Amino acid sequence: MAPVLCCSVPVTRVPFPAVLLLVLLQQARSLPSAVAARTNLTAGATMAPPDYITSPSGGFAFGFRAFTSDPTKFLLATWFRFGGDDSSQPQPDPESVVWFAKQSPSGATPYATAQSVLSITADGQLTLTDGSNQVLWTPSLERGSVLALRDSGNLQFLSDSGSQVLWESFWYPTDTLLPGQSLVYDPARSEGKVFAKRADAEFTTGRFSMGIQSDGNVVLYVDLLKGNDPHNAYWQAYTNSPDGNTTVTFDDRGRLNYTLHNGTVSSLIKPAASFAAGEYFQFARMDPDGIVRTYIRPKDGGTGGNTSWTVSGAFPDYGCIKWTSGLQGMCGPGSYCLSAPTPSSRDRLNCVCPSGYNYTDEQHRDSGCTPAFEPQSCDGENSSDEFTLVELLNTTWEASIYYKRFSSVTEEQCREYCLRDCFCAAALMIGGSDCAEVAVLTNGWRANGVTTKALIKVRTRNSQVIVSSASSRTRNAFAYMLIAISLAFVLIIAIGGLVAQHCVTRNRERQRLLNPSVRPFSWKELHEATDGFEKLLGKGSFGEVYKGTIRSPQPHLIAVKKLISSNEYSEQEFTNEVQSIGQIHHRNLVRMIGYCKQGNHRMLVFEFMSGGSLRSFLFNPETRPPWHWRAEAALSIARGLEYLHDGCVAPIIRCDIKPDNILLDGHGTPKITDFGISKLLGSQQVHTTVTHVRGTRGYIAPEWLHSSSRVDTKADVHSFGVVLLEMISCRKCHEPVAPDPPQRGEEEDETVTLFGWAAQLVSARRAELMLHGDADVDTVEDRERVERFARVALWCIDPNPLLRPTMHQVVQVLETSRTRVEALPDPADCYMESSPLIPQLKIE
């Protein structure tokens, strides 16, 4: 006991907590070498952060990896382990992580803490739990007893006998394929996909994926988490066949191949230089920028001690000009894609903002860019003199949404056209003589071979609103902070602490803009502006609309929409969605100018449309609008929908397109209203609201009525088709149509639906009868345009969403007379078969 007593005498005066800390640090240093000897986890054993197991050769490790951004959180992952005992580098770099646990192939990533435990429970379940014993992740429901990491990097959960594999990580790849690993279509496991991470160091599901469809086609998708949809594909190998059964494999020579059902092997990626198997660490990865790349790293350190990963191959080439049929590209709206000056996509794609624009999300630059200034107003509040056009050479947005195009013009004329047009976001000089006005910048790219010159509209006056760099933002923020502090100090001295605090708080709340083009209103302001919500303009799917007047500084009429209550959106969700809606500007969309988020009040403020609704104009027999106006109005509505689907950061589904929701301004220009409000209420609320509002059943797509069906932008296409038929015929969709003229002896109730009537007329090549003899339809071209519009309308209302066109296709067909009507699909058989035959028509 004496030696113990001597050691316990506080001669060195070291506090007990310090002694305890030294002991813990010593244990931590010895932990990696102790854990490194473990090559499996058996029943009854546990593993907690920062523990890990290794493969027999020590080339891979599986266990807990701390996040660089937050060391208190851990990722359950498999990674390359270089140099044997890596106790000096216990934290693997993100690039070396080849697999990580997820709730599902496209689902959330469980984050462990220091209290989390991975174990094989008494009933044989592999389970990750948190400190309160709540299950964070469990991969298999079958009973097992051993978790082993193989030299291939494959993590396997084995049965009690050790002879049966119950689960393995190779069945559920995340973003990476290792040598010998294959990807197959398997709905029960990985769904045949690998998903890119949102960013290199973010272990969450990103925008892009590589998948094998049920028909065997190898496809690259954007923003598609479930199923197969060709509209979300920006590249495909065209390997589809009735037999399917295509397999993608990464071999030990660095080749990414696909094998067809008949044994034919082709390469997606071949390494630039051949090398012997076993000389390199290697993997194939779906990268966050949407390009699939293969990487290698010398096992012996390489020439000059090179220990970094090198890209050995990539596909697809020309990555910057890849986009879906719905015009979703590699970079978001408002930005342009910049790549290396070669066709190869080995270098990362960069998404860049033009001058005067800021990134929507600085951390994820592929989300797009928005103007750092208040866009040009169409209400006369600012003139074209306040704007200029900034040149971008060798840059184009030629896949963007055009709404005006001029041939054989000079650049000076092109500039003048865009500056005078409040809806023009940019102009493109194409080939030196063609000028295209662009409403929104989508799918831009810059390259030496591009001859188009882009002219970007930016504000010149009030230029302090424009923020062009991080340093200027910092300087402005510092200057504003000094001004705010000085003003607050004066207020405190002059008025007193309590009053000053109240005024500053109120001022901050009022001035806290979500974005430069949307302002917050208090409930009191809107109550006064609407005279106590006295003038009710109407009731819609999402709330009541009242007329009001604001002064900013001149009086302006406004429409205030009081949203129905919903428990599905949080404060942050409402703020985010209002910000998103407020950034949307298009000549055929009603502009939102403000909002109210005070207490339980949720209101949106829109520009007032003095022309009323399309319904009141279209179905008034005394003021029937001429056909030429109806045709141009239909095209304008289609362009507005196209913008919502393809021109925003994420597609916006309007959900309930009908003539009531299309308003006319003082010049008769149609504009869609209430877009984006569906996202404020939540999906379930919208489904309930849209499908139970009286009078909308004729417009909503069939998939809305089936809770199991996927509802996407094709639902809006269906509704637009119904509206287009109404605009052609000036008839309401739910009213039966009697044959005109009636036949002798015909029963009075012998009527057909609008859909059946239109289908029969189109099939008989007599679509002009839908117009009831409009005086302005007197040429062959006019009659062909009527038939083209009618065929597009029937194409849009096809019961199968996959057979409907996109709004981009609709706009292309409606705005050009070059499309042959014979090339458009025939009306769906169901509309012909479900309606009595019109006697006077001879169906060809």
* Strand residues in 525-646 grouped as ranges (E): 536-540, 543-551, 555-563, 592-598, 601-607
Burial 777-802 (b: 16+ CB within 10 A, else e): beeeebbbbbbbbbbbbbbbbbeebe
Taking the C-alpha atoms of residue 524 and residue 141, their distance in angstroms, rounded to an integer, is 58
Identity of the residue numbered 33:
S
Strand pairing partners for 401? 440
Question: Would you call 656 a catalytic residue per the annotation?
Answer: yes
Tokens standing for residue 735: 């009213």
Query: Is the previous residue joined to 341 through a cis bond, with omega within 30 degrees of 0?
Result: no
**Residues 130 and 112 sit within 8 Å (Cβ to Cβ):** yes
Does residue 594 sit in helix, strand or coil? strand
Q: How many CA atoms lie within 13 A of 286 on its CB side?
A: 26
The string of DSSP letters for 350-391 reads: EEEPPTTEEESSTT-GGG-EEESSPPPPSSSSS-GGGEEEEE
Taking the C-alpha atoms of residue 529 and residue 540, their distance in angstroms, rounded to an integer, is 21
Residues whose CB is less than 8 angstroms from the CB of residue 476 and which lie 6 or more positions away in sequence, other chains included: 464, 467
Main-chain phi, psi angles of 395, to 5 degrees: -130, 140
Tokens standing for residue 309: 């990963």
Q: DSSP alpha helices (H): ranges in 466-522?
A: 470-495, 497-511
Residues whose CB is less than 8 angstroms from the CB of residue 837 and which lie 6 or more positions away in sequence, other chains included: 760, 843
**Residues 582 and 565 sit within 8 Å (Cβ to Cβ):** no
The string of DSSP letters for 332-352 reads: -TT-EEE--SSS---SPPEEE
- For the chain, the 3-state helix, strand and coil shares in percent, each to the nearest 5, are 30, 25, 45
**Residues 397 and 369 sit within 8 Å (Cβ to Cβ):** no
Tokens standing for residue 790: 């009618």
Q: Is 562 annotated as a binding residue?
A: yes
Residues whose CB is less than 8 angstroms from the CB of residue 216 and which lie 6 or more positions away in sequence, other chains included: 185, 239, 240, 241, 243, 244, 245, 246, 260, 261
Q: In 3D, which of 800, 774, 803, 798 has the Cα closest to residue 786?
A: 774
Strand pairing partners for 540? 543
Q: In 3D, which of 74, 233, 95 has the Cα closest to residue 175?
A: 95
Taking the C-alpha atoms of residue 288 and residue 207, their distance in angstroms, rounded to an integer, is 7
- Residue 373 vs residues 376, 556, 746: alpha-carbon distances, Å: 9, 22, 65
Q: Tell me which of 86, 175, 656, 716 is the catalytic residue.
A: 656
- Residue 455 vs residues 367, 408, 422: alpha-carbon distances, Å: 22, 17, 15
Tokens standing for residue 251: 């071999």
Main-chain phi, psi angles of 86, to 5 degrees: -105, 40
H/E segment holding residue 691: helix 683-691
**Residues 129 and 104 sit within 8 Å (Cβ to Cβ):** no
Query: Is the previous residue joined to 316 through a cis bond, with omega within 30 degrees of 0?
Result: yes
Q: In 3D, which of 453, 572, 564, 562 has the Cα closest to residue 514?
A: 572
Pairing relation of β-strands 165-168 and 233-236?
Answer: unpaired
Taking the C-alpha atoms of residue 183 and residue 193, their distance in angstroms, rounded to an integer, is 7
Point out the annotated binding site.
Answer: 562
Among all residues, which ones are annotated catalytic?
Answer: 656
Q: Which residues are annotated as a binding site for ATP?
A: 562
